[in-house]
Chains A and B, each alone.
Chain A
Amino acid sequence: MSKFKKKKSGDLPAISTASLPDIVFMLLFFFMVATVMRQNTLMIENRLPTADQIEKLDKKDLVMYIYAGKPSSRYQASAGSTARIQLNDKFADVSDIKAFILAERASKREELVPFLTTALKVDGATNMGLVGDIKKELRDVQALKINYTTRTGSAMDNLQ
């Protein structure tokens, strides 16, 4: 009789957590592979507009990023509340764009320079005056391939 009694101990057996590390590692590897480290810390608000006629930029190393928008609340005391340009972690003026483009070009291999694209990541609430100034500077340095970075979605959402 005692043989059977032994098995019937009342409380539930503890769930084995031995495979928990494996599960966590699996997640960890996923995020390690999927992570793209942010090159620039954003100092501006950057709510991109939406569009649906978009192309993907696939060669990440051949893209130069120009950010523009209102300084985020942390920086408004020092940078003001009108829209500013951000290049490489710093606020910049329109006149700095030329130097920025030339520096980016110098850091790339010569045969890749014609394929460089400028991605404009501009906040939706920015005035076109600033964007126009940026475009004019880009034209002056012959950086003619540009891409207005947008989120995917209907363009009609922009008007609300």
Chain B
Amino acid sequence: MARRAAPEVNAGSMADIAFLLLIFFLVTTTIETDSGISRKLPPPQDEEVPPPILKEKNIFVVELNKNNDLLVEETPMELKDLREAAIKFLDNGGGAGEDACNYCQGSKDPSSSDNPTKAVISLRNNRETNYETYIAVQNELVAAYTTLRNREAQRLFGKTFVQMEKELKDVNYTGNKESLKEDIKKIQFLFPEKLSEAEPKK
């Protein structure tokens, strides 16, 4: 028997096959955006329970009308000034006695909010408001809270609130997660996110 050499398989078309698969995956790939502003909706309310009574000065009314104009406390405002105004309101700390705020750095104006734990931002929008504008306003208000929380966290724990939350999610974090969770709760208690949304006007 003559020993025949095994014939070599032609691998020239391998590249074509691989290209075909590659193009299939290129076309089907969607790098999905899965990040956004997280919010918690209020639970459905009973009709009988009266809403808690709040002082007028502890409410910061942000309104968006159907022409996408921003009204803050009934005066028009540019979106870029909203963050600053919200911070000023939350950080005011104008209360005295029981309501006094010892960590606020605001102007302590008695006609503005007493305490960040009491201050409520009320966001009202029209049914014809644009979603884009609404998200922009939400973003600015969340940013105001984050700025204040970062400041407090920096003062108390030497790192920003954003950093603390990132560490809580990090599996490789070496420190004590329980105490970290406590610290985060403490900051959230100092500046609770009280963002109320009224039913939109018709």
Contacts and interface: CB of A to CB of B under 8 A. Distances in A.
Nearest to B30: A38
Most buried by A among B34, B79, B142: B34
B131 A53 contact: no
A128 B139 contact: no
B18 A25 contact: yes
A138 B18 contact: no
Interface in B37-71: 37-44, 64, 68
Interface string A118-160: 0110111111110110010011101111111111100110110
A36 interface: yes
Contacts of A142: 43-44
Contact of B36 (A127, A139, A143, A149): A149
A57 B131 contact: no
B174 interface: no
B56 to A, nearest CB: 25
Contacts of B41: 135, 138-139, 143-146
Contacts of A145: 38, 40-41
Interface residues of B, number: 51
Contacts, number: 167
A64 interface: no
A64 B116 CA distance: 34
A13 to B, nearest CB: 18
Main secondary structure of the interface of A (DSSP, over half): mixed
Interface residues of A, number: 59
A9 to B, nearest CB: 24
Given A24-B18, A139-B42, A124 B130 contact: yes
Contact of A156 (B26, B28, B79): B79
B32 A36 contact: yes
B79 to A, nearest CB: 6
Given A31-B26, A52-B139, A128 B126 contact: yes
A56 B138 CA distance: 17
A10 interface: no
A71 interface: no
Contact of B136 (A51, A58, A135): A51
A153 B35 CA distance: 12
Interface of B: 11, 14-15, 18-19, 21-22, 25-26, 28-44, 64, 68, 79-80, 125-136, 138-140, 142-143, 146, 169, 199-200
